[in-house]
Amino acid sequence: MTLGVIIGNRDFFPDSLVEKARTEIIEVFEKLNLKPVLLDTTETKLGGVETYQEAMKCANLFKAHREEISGILVLLPNFGDEKGVADTLKLAGLNVPVLIQAYPDELSKMNVVNRRDSWCGKISVCNNLYQYGIKYSLTSQHVSLPSSEVFQRDLKDFVAVCRVTNGLKSVRIGAIGARPGAFNTVRYSEKILQRNGVTVTTFDLSEILGRANKLSGDDAKVKQHIESINAYASKGKTPNEAMLQIAKLDVVLKEVMEEYALDATAIQCWTSLQQNYGCNVCTSMSIMSENMLPSACEVDVTGTLSMYAMQLASGSPSALVDWNNNYADDPEKCVLFHCGNWAKSFLPDIEISNAPILGTTVGVENTYGALDGRTPAMPLTYGRISTDDPKGVIKAYIGEGELTDDPLSTFGNRAVAQINDLEGLMKYICRNGFEHHVVMNASKTAGILEEALSNYMGWEVYKH
């Protein structure tokens, strides 16, 4: 990832501090595999920004790299010039996340030659950015050295915030099929999403099934997909005829995603696919999610958006789940469940199977393609993004917990989650009209999501 770097300076503080900061941050970026875009020492005094002329030079540099820069880091090795920083960001107009860092002073170096006053300067810079209407992020400690572990952790988190923010502003989601009639819970507003940069492209399910039915088992691409599916998961007792149906559908979904440049999908399943095509699409959805192209069932578009946001935050796949069952009488544990479309990362014992619950109405023989598997203990970030149409806003809740190895004897994709004050969370979900679907990710990224969704996207966020 590429970040723009502004090194603030103020002329009555030691210039040597600016020079050293420039060298230090380049070393940190190399260590973290980040690319800096910053002024050369020949363009301004030591590559710092203080005057309006220097701000224009830095802004022009950033504009020349507009397509590369995902965020901007402001370094304050001394008090810095508050207007210089603010003017640079205003003139560049990149509209990307901004992180403000400030150096600590050393008690043994409080003389004129070494004094920084960055503690105070950071407050002034933030005050100016607030006045200019520029959104910004703060380090976990008010002052910290770039070489410190705490700052480098902050910088990594900031990079993730940039991924989430920039990714959500241009994401393209395919809504494949109509929302199942019995699932009012997954209603959403395309218009509210579009106003926030989220594009939804709709497809009639009959078009997808029609294209799939025109394929045969002799087609090379169908054979290739059967091989890929067999390499991905054990077929278990799934008949060859069902594997062929799954592969043909998988071919078409891949083609559609490429044709329309889709980042994610939400697919109609219950119960049209089973009745009109004869299999579940869960295996294909799992493969897509594992390959960082998240896919949610029941045309849950905002569920898919939640999966995508968590994936951007963590760099790992997400899964759409139901808040499904209590776990005995433990008030802080519950069962997460779905027919079977979770990414392979959550299912070490993954096997292609059928969907017994759905099979009671459409015939079990028409539900092959669902996955069976138990998720073991791992970290948990959970959450949900929704459009609140009466309010005209996008809202979300997020939190962290643990997935556990507690015994659980059932079928499908399943996990046990442990969450502090789970009863309070359920009350919040119910009182605020959230869906029964939630998204899980094997990470601890709730803070990153809160910063990206609330501060930069401007959405209403509750962090449990």
The candidate with the shortest Cα–Cα distance to 349, out of 324, 380, 371, is 371
Q: What is the mean pLDDT of residues 20-45?
A: 96
Are 449 and 383 in contact, with CB atoms under 8 Å apart? yes
pLDDT single digits (tens) 127-155: 999 999 999 999 999 999 999 999 999 99
Q: Could you tell me the pLDDT band of residue 291, with boundaries at 50, 70 and 90?
A: very high
Rounded to an integer, what distance in angstroms lies between the CA atom of residue 135 and that of residue 95? Answer: 9
Q: How far apart are the first and last CA of the chain?
A: 30
- Among the listed ranges 105-119, 200-214, 268-282, 384-398, which one has the minimum average pLDDT value? 105-119
Question: Residue 11 above 90 pLDDT?
Answer: no
pLDDT the model gives residue 197: 97
| 3-class secondary-structure state, position 120 | helix
Q: What average pLDDT is seen over the chain?
A: 96
Residues 6 or more apart whose CB falls under 8 angstroms from that of 355 comprise 280, 282, 339, 340, 364, 367, 370, 412
pLDDT the model gives residue 256: 98
| 3-class secondary-structure state, position 138 | strand
Give start and end residues of each alpha helix (H) in 1-110. Answer: 15-31, 52-64, 82-92
pLDDT the model gives residue 269: 87
Give start and end residues of each alpha helix (H) in 233-349. Answer: 240-259, 272-276, 282-290, 301-314
One-letter amino acid at 353 equals S
- Among the listed ranges 104-108, 242-246, 291-295, 432-436, which one has the minimum average pLDDT value? 104-108
pLDDT single digits (tens) 241-250: 999 999 999 9
pLDDT the model gives residue 29: 98
The candidate with the shortest Cα–Cα distance to 195, out of 222, 227, 168, is 168
Q: Could you tell me the pLDDT band of residue 112, with boundaries at 50, 70 and 90?
A: confident
Question: Residue 14 above 80 pLDDT?
Answer: no
pLDDT the model gives residue 270: 85
Q: What is the mean pLDDT of residues 41-58?
A: 95
Are 97 and 165 in contact, with CB atoms under 8 Å apart? yes
pLDDT the model gives residue 178: 95
Q: Can you give the length of the chain in residues?
A: 464
Share of the chain above pLDDT 90, in %: 93
Rounded to an integer, what distance in angstroms lies between the CA atom of residue 376 and that of residue 399? Answer: 19
Question: Residue 111 above 90 pLDDT?
Answer: no
Place of tokens 């896919």: 295
pLDDT the model gives residue 10: 87
Question: Residue 332 above 90 pLDDT?
Answer: yes
Question: Residue 25 above 90 pLDDT?
Answer: yes
Are 211 and 301 in contact, with CB atoms under 8 Å apart? no
Q: What is the mean pLDDT of residues 90-115?
A: 92
Report the DSSP beta bridge partners of residue 40. Answer: none
* Rg, the chain, Cα only: 25
Enumerate long-range contacts of 144-150, CB under 8 Å, 24 or more apart. Answer: 144/101, 144/102, 144/104, 145/24, 145/103, 145/104, 146/21, 146/24, 146/25, 146/28, 146/75, 146/101, 147/24, 147/27, 147/28
Question: Residue 113 above 80 pLDDT?
Answer: no
Are 299 and 290 in contact, with CB atoms under 8 Å apart? no
The candidate with the shortest Cα–Cα distance to 98, out of 73, 61, 123, is 73
The candidate with the shortest Cα–Cα distance to 314, out of 198, 164, 416, 199, is 164
Q: What is the mean pLDDT of residues 208-229?
A: 97
Report the DSSP beta bridge partners of residue 202. Answer: 175
Residues 6 or more apart whose CB falls under 8 angstroms from that of 299 comprise 175, 176, 177, 178, 179, 180, 183, 186, 266, 267, 268
pLDDT the model gives residue 173: 98
What DSSP state is assigned to residue 345?
A: G
Rounded to an integer, what distance in angstroms lies between the CA atom of residue 318 and that of residue 293? Answer: 10
